[in-house]
Amino acid sequence: PKPQNPVLKAFESIIKDIHTEMPKLVYFELHGRAEAIRLLCHHAKVEFEDVRFSFEEWGAKKGAGEFKGQLPQWHEDGEVMN
């Protein structure tokens, strides 16, 4: 096996300390606009939780105030991006 770069090893250690939760991608139960994000994450070996809603579930959750904005949403370290 190829020896690991010490700078990369240190960077990975710092990143593990910063990220306490697994990132989450939220979208409907279809490919749509989130598919490119999924493909890029898989290609880059980024672990994430893939949360998919039906349109009925989304309506109920949005009506209950659980989500603001539009989909897809990326949740990471307390931040929500859409």
Q: What are the tens digits of pLDDT across the range 35-66? A: 999 999 999 989 999 999 999 998 898 889 88
Q: Is the pLDDT at 23 greater than 90, yes or no?
A: yes
pLDDT of residue 20: 65
Is the CB of residue 25 less than 8 Å from the CB of residue 72? yes
Q: Indicate if the pLDDT at residue 19 is higher than 60.
A: no
Mean local confidence (pLDDT), 13-33: 80
* Mean of all residue pLDDT scores within the chain: 85
SS3 42: helix
Residue 47 is predicted with a pLDDT of: 93
* Residue 53: closest CA among 72, 33, 76: 72
Torsions phi, psi for 68 (to 5 deg): -120, 150
Cβ proximity of 61 and 67 under 8 Å: yes
